[in-house]
Amino acid sequence: MNAPLRDPHLVVIAVFPGIDALDVAGPAETFAIANQMLRLSGRRTDYEVRLVAERRGPVPTFSGVQLYVEQEFAEQREPIGTLVVPGRVDLGAGGAVPRVEPGVVRWLREVGPSAGRVASVCAGAHVTAAAGLLDGHRATTHWATAGRLAADHPEVEVDADPIFVRSGRMWTSAGITASIDLAMALVAEDHGDQIALDVARAMVMYMQRPGGQSQFSVPLAQLPGTREDVQSLRRWIGEHLDDDLSVQALAGRLAMSERHFARVFLAETGSTPGVFVEQMRLEAARRLLERTDRLAPDIARACGFGSVETLYRVVRDRLGTTPGEYRDRFRISTPA
C-alpha cells in the first residue's frame, strides 16, 4: 500500500468536448463510493474529484449528456494525487480514430510530470502518449486503436490485451467500462483490497476484474480478411482445437507450403498461425472455466493444450492468473 495520502486526495479529470461520458462518470462514481466505504470503516482520507477543461462551463459528451466544469486548466494549482485522462474514439470508413485534443496535451505536459500518478482511460492513452508521459512505459488502450498507438508512439510498449496496465506511476486501461476496473484498482492500491471489494459490492459488480483479463475475444482481435479459404480455416480451427494445429498441418489443409501459408495467414488475420491457435485455445479454456465445473486436465485435453502444465503456463502468461483463480473470479453461474 502507498504512503498516506493528502486529506483529501485530489483526483483531477481532464475533459474536452465529445468525450465519452462513462470515461468520466465511471471513475468519479467509484471514488465517491470509496469515500463512503472509507467513512464507514472509520478512515479519514477521502477522494476529492474535480473536473477541469480549457474553459469553464458546459462540456458536451458523445452521448449528448453535458458535464459542467467549474475550473480551467490554468486555474489548477494544487498538487494532483491522481490525474485521470479520458478519451474518445471516432468510428468512420477509415476505421477507429482516437481524438487527441492539443489543449489537453499541452496541459498534460505541464502538470503530468508532477502528478502523483496518471491514469488514462480508453483512447486517453493516445493523449497521454502525445504528451510524452508514456515514454518507456508499458500501456494498453482500446483494442481498436492499439495498433495506431504503437505506430504513432514506438517508444511506448503497447499491449492490446489487458483490461488495464500499471507501469510505475502510469496507469492505462481499455475501452469505456474498464474505467471502473481501473478506478477500483487505484482504490485498492491506496486502501487495500477489502475497501475495493466493498466498492465492487456497492456497485453490484461481481468482483474487481484483474488487469490481466483479456479485453476482447479472438474474433474481435483479428482482421476480417478477404480470402474465403483462410476464413473457413479459422472457423475449422475453432471447431477442432484438440487436433494437430501445427503450421505444417494447417498449411497442408490449404495445399500450401508452410512458408507461403504463414505469410498469407499473417496478411489475412494480422496474427501468426501459432499465436492465433494459442489464442483460440485460451478463449475456449476461459469459456469452460467460466461456464462449467470441468477439471483442469479435461479442459487441457479439450482445448488442445496437451497437458495441464501447458494450460497453466498459457493462462498465467496471457491472463496473469491461474485457471483456478480465473474460475473463482469469472464463473458465470454455479453448474448444476
Q: pLDDT (tens digit, 9 = 90+) per residue, 148-160?
A: 999 999 999 998 8
Higher-confidence position of 194 and 182: 182
| Position with higher pLDDT, 300 vs 45 | 300
For the cut 90, the answer to whether the pLDDT of residue 189 exceeds it is: no
In this prediction the pTM is 0.65
pLDDT band at 278 (very low <50, low <70, confident <90, very high): very high
**Residue 320: predicted pLDDT:** 78
Residues 6+ apart with CB under 8 A from 228: none
Q: Higher confidence at residue 231 or residue 124?
A: 124
Burial of 44 (0-12, 13-18, 19+ CB in 10 A): exposed
**Distance in angstroms (rounded) separating the CA atoms of residues 135 and 97:** 21
- Terminus-to-terminus CA distance in the chain, angstroms? 40
Helices (H) and strands (E) in the chain, counts: 14, 13
Contacts of 268 (CB under 8 A, 6+ apart): 223, 225, 226, 227, 230, 231
Higher pLDDT, 223 or 231: 231
pLDDT given at position 206: 47
For 307, list phi and psi in degrees, rounded to 5: -150, 155
Check pLDDT > 50 for residue 1: no
Q: Domains (ranges, CATH) in the chain?
A: 9-202 (3.40.50.880), 218-330 (1.10.10.60)
- Residue 217 confidence (pLDDT): 45
The pLDDT, as a whole number, for residue 286 is: 85
Q: Residues near 262 by Cβ (< 8 Å), separated by ≥ 6? A: 247, 251, 272, 273
- pLDDT at position 121 is 94
Write the DSSP assignment of 29-44 as a string of letters.
Answer: HHHHHHHHHHHHTT--
- The pLDDT of residue 216 is 45
Which of 309, 245, 231 lies closest to 279, judged by CA? 245
The winner for highest mean pLDDT among 175-184, 205-214, 255-264 is: 255-264
C-alpha cell at position 204: 453490484
Please indicate whether residue 213 or residue 169 has the higher confidence score (pLDDT): 169
For the record, the C-alpha cell of 68 comes out as 459542467
Residue 288 has pLDDT above 80, yes or no: yes
